[in-house]
Amino acid sequence: MLSVFTPGPSQLYPTVYGHVNTALAKNIGSISHRSKAFEEIFRAASESLRILLNIPRTHHIFFISSALEAMERIIENCVEKQSFHYVNGAFSKKWYEYAGQLGKKPEKKEIPFGQGFSFDSERIPKHTELICITHNETSTGVALGLKDIYALKKQYPNIPIAMDIVSSAPYSDIDFHYIDMAFFSVQKGFGMPAGLGVMIVNDGALEKAKSLQSRGISIGGYHGFPVLWKMAEKFQTPETPNVLALYVFGKVCGDFLKKGIGKIRKQTDEKTRMLYDFFDAHEEYKPFIKEKKFRSPTTIEIEVQGKSDEIVKRLSKKGIIVGKGYGDFKDSHIRIANFPAHTKREVKRIIENM
Ligand SMILES: *Cc1c(COP(=O)(O)O)cnc(C)c1O
């Protein structure tokens, strides 16, 4: 078996294989998405996730196709004219660009890739309707501090915050009282095959979507918040969804709960420490993120002096797949994901083979 440490898709969580087999044996591929059996799958997935991430009842859970879809839906449903984006990598930049492509007038605060935001005495432009933050920039290995983000919310309590948590969930223990919307896809921290996105949306965001709609502003069609909400209340989706993924997702959330999310977080911390300690002491290869408070626990990015190709090949001969850097960092960096599917033993093997 290969050990896959690319940041997404990544290693499958070990129970996924069994759940897929069970799903097929139960004929899940043929059930109607308007049936009781489907509603039960939806309900189980939604409720397990709610417990796992401690999502309050003020927030609704919607299933969509991907994280990039969530970026677009959130802009469509919550912004008439102006969103404000913190940009420090490829994903935060994409989100900003989508807003422009949707005909909005987004603004941004952009800093070089590899740096993070502390949100000290921020000046958010007047008329900002939504603040967009990428919690963990998978493209550079920068994670922002949750306390800093909460402080920003306290400074601007009336502006909703939407947060990309694609590569920080379920590791990060988020207090959703400060976060109005969040989203992720399942092929990273949840260790599943790609093809399912999850969006967490509070009442205020839903109201905003309704108010835009009532004023004749387009909020999109089949995945507008009001219709997603109306269907989710019945444990259904507007479209014929990825039922297989939804089934497996509910089961994986259940497995995380059985293991204990506290334990998963603690094990993640241990693996994070092993990797950064090793590379901090390495003569040649160094963590890319110098400021320790911004070092991602879940995507560890290492500067390797132009040797990423050589390292990726060497490790793959040992059955370990690590990622190259994103975009311009392809040759100069490697990326190592640290998700619940990754065991301490496998992390040790990376270290031994570096
Ligand atoms: C992978 C990733 C995305 C995109 O996810 P898709 O499932 O491809 O839509 C968005 N944001 C971050 C931070 C990511 O790591």
What pLDDT does residue 308 have? 97
What pLDDT does residue 159 have? 98
Q: Locate all alpha helices (DSSP H) within the chain, ordered by sequence.
A: 16-25, 36-52, 67-78, 90-101, 146-155, 203-214, 225-233, 243-259, 261-280, 308-317, 344-352
Please state, as a whole number, how many other Cβ atoms lie within 10 Å of the Cβ of residue 281: 8
pTM score of the predicted model: 0.98
Rounded-to-10 torsion of CA 194, 196, 200, 205: 120
pLDDT tens readout for residues 105-133: 999 999 999 999 999 888 999 999 999 99
What pLDDT does residue 93 have? 98
Amino acid in position 211: S
**Which residues approach ligand 1 with their CB closer than 6 A?**
8, 66-68, 91, 134, 138, 164, 166-167, 185, 194
Cα(149) to centroid of ligand 1, in Å? 20
Closest CA to 183 of 223, 215, 210, 128: 223
The minimum-distance atom of ligand 1 relative to the CA of 69 is 9
Cα(166) to centroid of ligand 1, in Å? 6
Distance CA 253, CA 248 (A): 9
CB-based burial label for 265 (10 Å; 0-12, 13-18, 19+): middle
Distance CA 228, CA 197 (A): 13
Cα(26) to centroid of ligand 1, in Å? 31
What pLDDT does residue 266 have? 98
What pLDDT does residue 277 have? 98
What pLDDT does residue 1 have? 79
CB-based burial label for 216 (10 Å; 0-12, 13-18, 19+): exposed
The minimum-distance atom of ligand 1 relative to the CA of 137 is 13
Below-70 pLDDT ranges, the chain: none
Out of 72, 86, 134, 185, mutate this one to test ligand 1's pocket (max ligand atoms within 8 Å of CB): namely 185
Closest residue to atom 14 of ligand 1, CA basis = 166
